[in-house]
Amino acid sequence: MRYGLLFILSFLVLSCNQKEAETFVVLQTTDLHGVLGRDMSGIAGYIKTQKEKYGKDLFLLDGGDNFQGTPEVFFANYVDTLHTHIYSELFNWLSYDALTPGNHDIEAGRKVFDKVYSEIRADVICANAIEERTGEPYFKPYAVYNRKGWKIAVMGILTPFATEWIPKHLRGGILIDHPERAAIYWTKKIYEEENPDILIGLFHTGWGDPYTRDTSQSAPSIGAWIARNVPGFHLICCGHVHDAATDYLINVRGDTVHMIEAGSRASHIGRAEIRIKPGPHEKPRISVSTELLASRELPPYYAYDKKMEIFFSREQDYNSQYFCFLEAPVFSREAMYGPSAWIDEIHRVQLTCVNSGTASDVGASVSFVSPAARNLMLKAGPLQMNDFIRALPYENTISVVRMDGSEIIRFLEYAYALRIDNPRGPAYNFDSAAGILYRVHKNKPAGSRIEVLSMADGSSFSLAEEYHVVMSTYRARGGGGHMTSGVGLTAEELPERTLWVSEKDIRTIFREYLAARSPVMPRPLDHWRYL
C-alpha cells in the first residue's frame, strides 16, 4: 500500500512538472505620455478582451514615459495627490504584469514616481537604475513568472544618461548605469539563478544599429545592439523614440530575436505570440510572431469611459480656473521663421526670473529658448491650466550656465543648423537667443551663419568674455546635443558650468509671471532675424 501511494505521488509530481506545448501572448504599451482619451479607451477594450481569452497565458507590459505630456497627467501628478494616481488605478484595473520606468517618469520626481509605483500591483523593473547611496538597483532588475510549467523572465532597461537631464532634487539619488553593461550582467545572472525558458526585454530605449553601439550622450537607441550582442533574449519590447514597428534580427549566437515597439501616445498596442514546446536536451523550441494594432481601429470601451468619468470631472474643475488674460493670440510656428511673440515671452520670463530674488546673485544676460510644440495656438482670452501644459508639455526647470562668447555662437550655429538643414526636425531642438542682437545668414554654410552685432543693450559682445546664460535644465545637461556636439563640452564638464538651478518647474515660473502681469500683450523682442 505504501509503495502504491509513493508511486501515485511520484506520478503526480512528474505530471505537474511535465511541460507541454503552449502559446503565450505578450501585449505592450509604451510612451503613453498622459494620454487617457479615445485611443486609450480602444486599447483598454482590446486588453480586456485578450485577458478574457488568454487568462494567465497573457503578459501585459508597459515601457514607460507615462507621467508627462497632458493636462490630465499633470493634474494627477501634482494636484490630485490625495487620490490614487490615475495611472496606478488604470494599470491595476487592466492587470499589468510588469512595467519599466521611462526618463519622463523619473523626471516627474521621486515624490510622484515613488507614490505611483507603490500603488501599482505590477512588477516595476529596471536593471540599470542605480541608487547612488548603495550602488544597488533602485527597482527590481527583472521579474520571473511561472506559467503552466514554463518559466518566463522579463528584464527592464532605461535609456542611458536619462537622469543627467534631471536635477538631483527630482531624481533623488538615482543614477542610470550603462544599459549594455546591465544587460550583460543581468542576463548572465538570470540564466544562472533562474534558468528561464523565455527571456523578454522591456526596454525604454529605441532600436538603433545592431552593429554599432550608440555612444552619444543621449544615446536614445540601443535595443538592437543588445539584441544582437547579448545572447539570451527571445523578444525585446522597445520604446522612447516613438516609432511603431516590428522586426527581428539574428544575434551573435545565431538565434532569432524578435523586436516590437508600440509607438507613442496610445497610437498602437504591440502584440507578440510566443509558441514554446519541449525540445531535445531540455532546450525548448520557441517561435515568435509579432504585430501592431492601431488604436484608431479599435472600438471605444464603455467600461473604460465610465471608469474615467470621476477623474475627468475632478480634472475639469481644476482646469476651469484661469490664471491670466491674453490680449492677442499666439502661434508657436512663427518661431520657425523669425522672432516670435510667444517664444520671446518665455525669454522675458527666464531673464526676469534669474535677475530677481535669490537668483539675482548669479543673474544672466543671455537666454536660450525653443518652441516645445511646433503647432501651438493659444487664442486671445483667459489662459487656463491646460494652456500652460500644452505650451510647455515637458517637466523641466531652468538653469544658469557659464559660457564665453565663442561658445554662445557655437551653440547657436548648432541650433540653426538643425532648423535650416533639417526643417522637419523636432521643434524643441531649435533654440533662439535673447539678450544679444544677431543675424542668421541662411544661405551660408553651417558653422558660419551667426553674426552677433552687440548685446541687446547696445554694449559690445566679445568672443572671449564670459556670460551667464539661462536655458532649460534639459538643455544645460546636454539634451539635444547643443552643449556637447554644438559647443564641444564633454558630459563630465557640463555640471561644472551650471551656476544655478531653479527649485520651481518652468511651467510654474511662467504661469506665476504671466498671472502677475495680467492682462498680457505678447510682443516680439526682435533680437534676431534671418538674412
246-296, pLDDT tens digit by residue?
999 999 999 999 999 999 999 999 999 999 999 887 789 999 999 999 999
Q: Choose between 63 and 503: higher pLDDT.
A: 63
* Predicted confidence (pLDDT) at residue 510 exceeds the cutoff of 80: yes
pLDDT at 376: 83
How far apart, in whole angstroms, are the C-alpha atoms of residue 210 and residue 222?
8
Question: DSSP E strands: which ranges in 385-444?
Answer: 398-404, 432-434, 436-440
Output b/e per residue, 26-63; b: 16+ Cβ within 10 A: bbbbbbbbbbbbebbbbbbbbbbebbeeeeebbbbbbb
337 vs 333: CA distance, rounded Å: 8
Mean pLDDT of the chain: 91
C-alpha cell at 275: 509558441
- The Cα-based distances of 528 to 352, 370, 421, 438, 455 in angstroms read 20, 14, 19, 5, 11
Provide the sign of the torsion angle of the four alpha carbons 456, 459, 464, 467, taken in this order.
Answer: negative
pLDDT of residue 161: 58
Give the pLDDT band of residue 219 (cuts 50, 70, 90): low
User: Beta-carbon neighbour count of residue 447 at 10 Å?
Assistant: 11
- Asked whether residue 74 carries a pLDDT value surpassing 90, the answer given is no
Type of residue found at 140: K
Contact 110, 172 (CB under 8 A): yes
Task: Give pLDDT, residue 164.
Answer: 62
Least confident range of 159-173, 262-276, 422-436:
159-173
User: How much is the average pLDDT of 46-62?
Assistant: 97
Using the predicted structure, report yes or no on whether residue 201 has a pLDDT greater than 60. yes
Instruction: State how far the Cα of 83 lies from the Cα of 80, in Å rounded to an integer.
Output: 6
Residue with cell string 506665476: 512
Confidence band, pLDDT 50/70/90 cuts, at residue 18: low
Confidence of residue 333 (pLDDT cuts 50, 70, 90): confident
Give me the mean pLDDT over the 283-310 stretch. 96
Domains in the chain (CATH in brackets) are 20-296 (3.60.21.10), 322-530 (3.90.780.10)
Judged by phi (left if over 0) then psi (alpha if -120 to 50, else beta), residue 195 lies in left
Q: Mind giving me the DSSP string for 39-67? A: HHHHHHHHHHHHHHHHGGGEEEEE-S--S
Least confident interval from 3-12, 396-405, 411-420, 522-531: 3-12
**CB–CB of 69/265 below 8 Å?**
yes
Question: Given strand 450-455, what is the order of strands in its sheet?
Answer: 450-455, 436-440, 528-530
Q: Of the given ranges (88-92, 121-125, 134-138, 172-176), which has the lowest mean pLDDT? A: 172-176
pLDDT at 131: 93
Mean pLDDT for the stretch of residues 466-490: 93
Q: Hey, what's the cell of 344?
A: 520671446
**Residue 518, C-alpha cell as written in the block:** 495680467
Q: Measure Cα distances from 272 to 4, 260, 401, 503 in Å.
A: 45, 8, 47, 43
